[in-house]
């Protein structure tokens, strides 16, 4: 009798924990900002010169200036027409939404930049780990991505195109699929 009660309590606890976890996952996936778009989300810088500010407005000081259009950034917060972004290095600040684009790009394994020579991210002909290698990308190389299937992203850089493992880039969430 005692073991039946314990087993029932254990089963109930496991079911409760599983449902709480799935509710949290669903909530995280459903989070939307005032714009109605999901938060967080990846975008790119539209302009060659973008001021990163310490607050949401032109009255706030500029803490950094980006000098490369097409750089992927992550929008983590929205306020009016300002977006709080984070770059691949973890730097955060505010940018006017007019300086951001919905185009997608990524950076090849920025966390591996300090690993030394001989570390690469493989760009493959097909979305399979056994597919032939089209190019070897050094960590930190920027690529444009046209679609992701949750495991692989179609990528292009300097005339080379193919598929890169989604887990080896910064610019698409794990499991994220889009066309």
pLDDT score at 115:
84
pLDDT score at 117:
86
Q: In the predicted model, is pLDDT for residue 6 greater than 60?
A: no
pLDDT score at 30:
58
The strand ranges marked E within the chain are 41-45, 50-53, 62-66, 72-79, 82-86, 92-96, 100-101, 105-108, 121-124, 133-137, 142-149, 152-157, 160-165, 169-170, 177-178
Question: What is the mean predicted confidence (pLDDT) over 136-140?
Answer: 96
Q: In the predicted model, is pLDDT for residue 22 greater than 90?
A: no
pLDDT score at 143:
98
Q: For the ranges 1-15, 19-33, 111-125, 153-167, which has the lowest average pLDDT?
A: 1-15
Q: What is the pTM of this model?
A: 0.81
For residues 104 and 126, what is the distance between their CA atoms, to the nearest angstrom?
Answer: 20
Q: In the predicted model, is pLDDT for residue 114 greater than 90?
A: no
Summarize pLDDT for 83-100 with one digit per residue, the tens.
999 999 999 999 999 999
Q: In the predicted model, is pLDDT for residue 3 greater than 60?
A: no
* Tokens read off for 87: 């770059």
Count other C-beta atoms under 10 Å from residue 53's C-beta: 19
């Amino acid at each position: 009798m005692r073991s039946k009660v314990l087993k029932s309590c254990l089963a109930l606890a496991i079911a409760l924990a599983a449902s709480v976890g799935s509710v949290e996952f669903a909530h995280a996936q459903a989070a939307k900002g005032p714009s109605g778009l999901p938060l967080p989300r990846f975008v790119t810088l539209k302009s060659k010169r973008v001021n990163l500010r310490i607050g949401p407005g032109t009255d706030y000081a500029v803490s950094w200036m980006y000098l490369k259009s097409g750089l992927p950034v992550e929008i983590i917060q929205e306020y009016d027409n300002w977006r709080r972004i984070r770059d691949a290095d973890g730097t955060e600040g505010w940018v006017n939404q007019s300086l951001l684009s919905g185009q997608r790009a990524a950076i090849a394994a920025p966390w591996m930049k300090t690993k030394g020579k001989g570390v690469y991210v493989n760009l493959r002909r097909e979305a399979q780990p056994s597919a032939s290698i089209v190019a070897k990308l050094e960590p930190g190389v920027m690529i444009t991505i046209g679609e992701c299937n949750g495991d692989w992203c179609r990528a292009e850089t300097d005339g080379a195109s193919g598929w890169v493992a989604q887990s080896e880039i910064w610019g698409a969430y794990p499991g994220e699929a889009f066309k």
